């Protein structure tokens, strides 16, 4: 083994073997190790950036899908509300038309109250009520309401023109529905 002797300043003494080749070899190994570590760090950084980009793209796609689903739900809710409102408007219009028809019909019957047709209607109503209650039923004519009150044996039948109009309109078996079509 070679013994190194140091001078006062810590450098090898003249005539001692040189350590430059060892230092150069160590430096070369350190540089190679640094290049490997740097390359591994660069690869890790590249992988981390790629992973972050992929995760970000997944989050963006997920948010887009959630937004589309939320938009579809909102659209569906708005359409359902519009349908309900439209149906309400249609039903209200039908009700107004029904009421107008009823009022016009009752007004026309009222206008004809003293006519021969009205008297014939009252007689027919009385006959129909007597058929139900019996021939000895008492009949009271109600010309103000264009109707009759027929009673017998604690039973009473009241029939007026507005009642007949309501019954006819209610039992028209789709007749009114044809008006809406």
Q: Using one digit for the tens of pLDDT, what is the confidence trace for 22-39?
A: 888 888 988 998 899 899
Residue 7: inside a domain: no
pLDDT digits (tens, 9 = 90+) for 105-139: 888 888 888 889 888 988 888 888 888 888 888 99
pLDDT at residue 7 in the model: 47
Question: Which domain covers residue 62, as residue numbers?
Answer: 19-111
Nearest to 123 by CA among 141, 108, 106: 141
Asked if residue 153 is part of any domain, the answer here is yes
Residue 173 pLDDT level (bands cut at 50, 70, 90): low
Query: What's the Cα-to-Cα distance from 1 to each of 4, 17, rounded to whole Å?
Result: 9, 11
**SS (HEC) of 4-18:** CCECCCCCECCCCCC
Residues 158 and 145 in one domain: yes
Residue range 46-62: mean pLDDT, rounded: 91
Same domain, 81 and 121: no
57 & 107 share domain: yes
Domain boundary among 95, 111, 127: 111
Please tell me the predicted confidence (pLDDT) of residue 172.
Answer: 67
pLDDT for the residue numbered 141: 86
106 and 42 together in one domain: yes
Within this chain, do residues 42 and 79 fall inside the same structural domain, yes or no?
A: yes
166 and 156 in a common domain: yes
Distances (CA, A) of 155 to 88, 97, 101, 138: 42, 36, 32, 11
**pLDDT at residue number 121:** 86
138 domain-assigned? yes
Model confidence at 82, in pLDDT bands (50, 70, 90)? very high
Quickly state the pLDDT bin for 87 (edges 50, 70, 90): very high
Within 8 A by CB and 6+ apart from 156, the residues are 149, 150
Q: Which two tokens stand for residue 54?
A: 């992929």
Pair 135, 152 in one domain: yes
> d(Cα 139, Cα 142) in Å, to the nearest integer?
10
Instruction: Please give the pLDDT value at position 92.
Output: 94
Poorest-pLDDT segment among 79-88, 104-113, 170-179: 170-179
What's the rounded mean pLDDT across residues 40-49? 90
Q: Is residue 28 part of a domain?
A: yes
Cα–Cα nearest to 147, from 161, 133, 137: 161
Max distance between CA atoms of the chain, in angstroms, equals 159
Q: Domains in the chain: how many in total? A: 2
Are 105 and 118 within one domain?
no
Verify that 165 and 118 share a domain, yes or no: yes
Q: What is the pLDDT of residue 8?
A: 47
C-beta separation of 93 from 175 below 8 A: no
Pairing of strands 147-152, 155-160: antiparallel
Reduce the secondary structure of 112-159 to three states and give it as a string.
CCCCHHHHHHHHHHHHHHHHHHCCCCEEEEEHHHCEEEEEECCEEEEE
Shared-domain flag, residues 95 and 154: no
User: Which one of 111, 137, 157 terminates a domain?
Assistant: 111
Same domain, 119 and 96: no
46 lies in the same domain as 65: yes
Radius of gyration of the chain (CA): 53
* pLDDT the model gives residue 135: 81
Per-residue pLDDT at 14 exceeds 80: no
70: left (phi over 0), alpha (psi -120 to 50) or beta: alpha
């Amino acid at each position: 083994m070679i013994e190194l002797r140091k001078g006062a300043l810590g450098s090898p003494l003249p005539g001692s073997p040189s350590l430059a080749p060892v230092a150069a070899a160590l430096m070369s190994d350190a540089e190679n190790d640094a290049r490997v570590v740097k390359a591994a760090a660069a690869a890790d950084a590249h992988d981390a950036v790629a992973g972050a980009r992929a995760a970000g793209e997944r989050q963006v796609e997920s948010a887009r899908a959630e937004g589309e689903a939320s938009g579809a739900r909102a659209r569906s809710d708005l359409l359902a509300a519009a349908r309900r409102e439209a149906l309400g408007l249609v039903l209200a219009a039908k009700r107004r038309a029904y009421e107008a028809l009823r009022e016009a019909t009752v007004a026309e019957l009222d206008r004809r109250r003293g006519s021969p047709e009205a008297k014939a209607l009252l007689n027919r109503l009385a006959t129909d009520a007597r058929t139900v209650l019996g021939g000895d039923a008492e009949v009271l004519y109600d010309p103000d309401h264009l109707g009759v009150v027929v009673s017998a044996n604690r039973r009473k039948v009241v029939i007026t023109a507005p009642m007949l109009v309501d019954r006819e309109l209610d039992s028209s078996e789709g007749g009114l529905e044809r008006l809406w079509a």
